A and B are shown apart, each in its own frame.
Chain A
Amino acid sequence: MNDARNNARRLAPDSYGEALVETPALPGRLGPLLRGEWVKPSGDTSATVLEPGTGQVLATLPTASEGELAQLLSRPMAVGRAASASDRAAAMRRLAEAVEANGPQLAALESLTTGRPIARTLHDDAPLLAGALRCFAEWTHLVGTADAGEPVVVPLTAYQSLLTCMDSLAPALACGRSVVFRAEPQAALPILRLMELVREEEVLRSLVSFVIVAAGERNEQRLIRPALVFADSDLDQAVEGIVPQAFTPALPGEAPGCHLFVEESIEPALLDRLRWRLGAARIGSPLDYNTELGPLPTKRALAAFEAHLTRAKSEGIAVERFAAPALLTAVRPDQIVARQALAGPAFVVISFRTPAEALSKLRATGARLGATTIWTEKAGKGQALAGEIAGRSTFCNTRDRLSPALTSGHAAFLRGETGDPWPFCSARPLEAAGFALEVEAEETPSAFAPFCTCRLIWQALGV
């Protein structure tokens, strides 16, 4: 009898093997960029960009001080007045095509430097950026020309730089506004490549500036990602939706991690499934197609994450580690780890007894909210809760769904002459895709005056 056949019991591979994408070429120019032109750095300070997983030096970038940045912002910026709306629109559409054509390189640069898995950057981030450019290109004729005035200053951190561009670059270009990107070194490389693409468009070139500011000790308050799980939800699908949310932030301003509010009656069952799932997490190189959790972008981020876990233990919270991910159970909303974003792949678990108590505990954290997910098979309950939650986007029974037409809620809708929000995509295509949508308009930053910021509620309409 052939020995290989005798061994038929254990033939499956232990892993998927490596499915690495090619290491991307670095951008040709490493900044800074002033009104579309590469300039010599004014100082002699620099910062290194490291590959997060290996510590290998990828590039050394010139940095500007806060004072130099303030001086830059005090100069009058270009306005897209010379370009007609149709020229601007055509340029944005060409830029969108260029982003698509260079999507693999942009995505790989983002993954290489931020640790975000290539499956997300390639299939989500880069296509969303191209889609946003196309969508906002359609609104230039209604925006008209912009007044000279304050530029849009976009801080870029190492958690998700391409998505931040989706949120800010596309509407700014549509308005003919100048954009100044101030990037942490670790966030710079994919955006520098993007700047090379923008510069190829004559009418858009002068609108963009890019400086790298050394990452200081800014204690930026990042947004938390709450998930509310009710006893009447499909627990298996809820876990599959929650885990990616904790591993990679979806919206600008968010950090990895999840504040998990779970109905007490199902807490043991949910945690069993969550432990099972975390034990099977696919951790690896962010350039590996199968990886779902890459390294944190910087040593500072890793230190902050470990500090959170140490603090949790000191508060008497149970901390379970699954290689990189962590599970913090029996947390109270007043404890420190509940009030802050975790900056790493961890779950803070807080139980509740009723929907009202879920809302009350969520508010009691006092944390600023990113996107919230609600898991319940009762559509009415999900909608009612979503209406009470003060975050920017709420997802009911679904994972992160970003539409280039709606971005993350910022500058999503055009404000008509009467001041009312004027949706530029009708609800019907969303309904056909299985989502309902509600809009509540808010005041928008003046740089995007023609647009309004909206609160979005995505409701999965499954059968």
Chain B
Amino acid sequence: MQRRRINSAGVDARVRDLERRQLGKTAREAALGWAMSVVDLTTLEGADTPGRVRDLCSKALHPCSSMPDLPRPAAVCVYPAFVKQAKAHLAGSDVKVACVATAFPSGQYHLATRLGEVEAVVEDGVDEVDMVINRGAFLSGDHQRVGDEIRAVKQAAGPAHLKVILETGELATYDNVRRASDIAIQAGADFIKTSTGKIKPAATLGVTLVMLQAIRAHHLETGQRLGMKPAGGIASGDDAIKFFCLVKETLGEAWLDKSLFRIGASSLVDKLIAEIAALRVDGQES
């Protein structure tokens, strides 16, 4: 695999340029609605309980009773222990159940343990598995092992979609982010994902751009379309719109679909609802 060196000044310049985009009012409301439709509504806390997961699923099915036309999130994302419960709550709906696996968030367990976890959640009926890469192996230069482990998890995941979390905050440089993206793509990832959301920095526009460019390079070479999920740190409508512009301008409108793009977030949906409501009130008054 060719080692690519990333022009970090160029990435940062492109990000500054993207941050200047302004959307017209109608386009803004549509973009916020789009953002809602691609959210993986997430709870990944040590203190999660069945009640918390029940409320999350209810939110996914009925995001806002005063605006019933708002789209549902694409998925809920929970710990492995709650997959069965989430599946039951969401049965018959188009909301997917995703879960983290492979010793999330550190990934520092024996491979057999991590694979066993994946097999268990597949048996519970999970739709999507979000795995973490072995950052220890990556940062010590054992890239072959990183790729082999992803392939093993892909096999264990069976019919479930595999998202591969790079934990870009620990990879630190754009070069590493691109390298890890290429490894994950070559190893069979369906999606590449920025972060666990447990450390900062999480999803920045810069690392997301580098990962989108990796996806584009793969598409140009093979024709295959893979997905992208920035996760963590996307906390407002403005943030979501920046990512919307980034995806649209880097990969094009085909990727503005929940089958190819997701946002990992916990409190974002409420912010989006509030902002859409404000826009609609504004529209009525003018």
Contact = CB atoms under 8 A, between A and B. Distances in A.
A2 B4 contact: no
A10 B14 CA distance: 27
A65 interface: no
B29 to A, nearest CB: 9
A234 interface: yes
A238 B21 contact: no
Given A9-B257, A12-B253, A18-B24, A398 B30 contact: no
Contacts of A384: none
A397 to B, nearest CB: 5
A444 to B, nearest CB: 31
A238 B23 contact: no
A17 B71 contact: no
A233 B7 contact: yes
Given A13-B23, A234-B5, A377-B5, A241 B258 contact: no
Nearest to A433: B9
Given A13-B27, A237-B14, A460-B7, A4 B69 contact: yes
Interface string B206-219: 00000001001100
Contact of A234 (B10, B31, B256): B10
Contacts of B94: 8
Contact of A276 (B8, B216, B248): B216
B11 A463 contact: no
In terms of DSSP, what is the predominant structure of the interface of chain A?
loop
A238 B249 CA distance: 16
A240 B12 CA distance: 11
A289 B28 CA distance: 14
A240 B216 CA distance: 14
Interface string B1-21: 000111111110110000011
B96 interface: no
A232 interface: yes
B242 interface: no
Interface string A213-241: 00000000000000000001110111011
Interface string B173-202: 100000000000000000000000000000
A232 B5 contact: yes
Q: Chain A: interface residue count, which band?
A: 35 or more
B8 A12 contact: no
B278 to A, nearest CB: 17
B31 A12 contact: yes
B239 to A, nearest CB: 16
Give the interface centre of A18, A123, A234, A434 by most chain B CB atoms within 10 Å. A234
Interface in A1-22: 2, 4-5, 8-19
Interface residues of B, number: 44
B141 interface: no
A377 B6 CA distance: 8
A233 B30 CA distance: 38
B69 A10 contact: no
B34 A5 contact: no
B249 A11 contact: no
A10 B252 CA distance: 13
B153 to A, nearest CB: 28
A238 B213 CA distance: 12
Given A280-B248, A460-B7, A460-B9, 7 more contacts: A11-B30, A11-B34, A13-B27, A241-B13, A273-B216, A397-B7, A462-B9
Interface of B: 4-11, 13-14, 20-28, 30-31, 33-34, 37, 68-72, 94, 173, 213, 216-217, 220, 244-245, 248-249, 252-253, 256-258
7 contacts: A8-B258, A11-B37, A13-B31, A14-B253, A236-B213, A289-B21, A399-B13
Q: What 10 A-B pairs are tightest by C-beta distance, nearest first? A: A17-B24, A237-B10, A17-B27, A462-B8, A237-B7, A234-B7, A460-B9, A19-B22, A13-B30, A12-B34
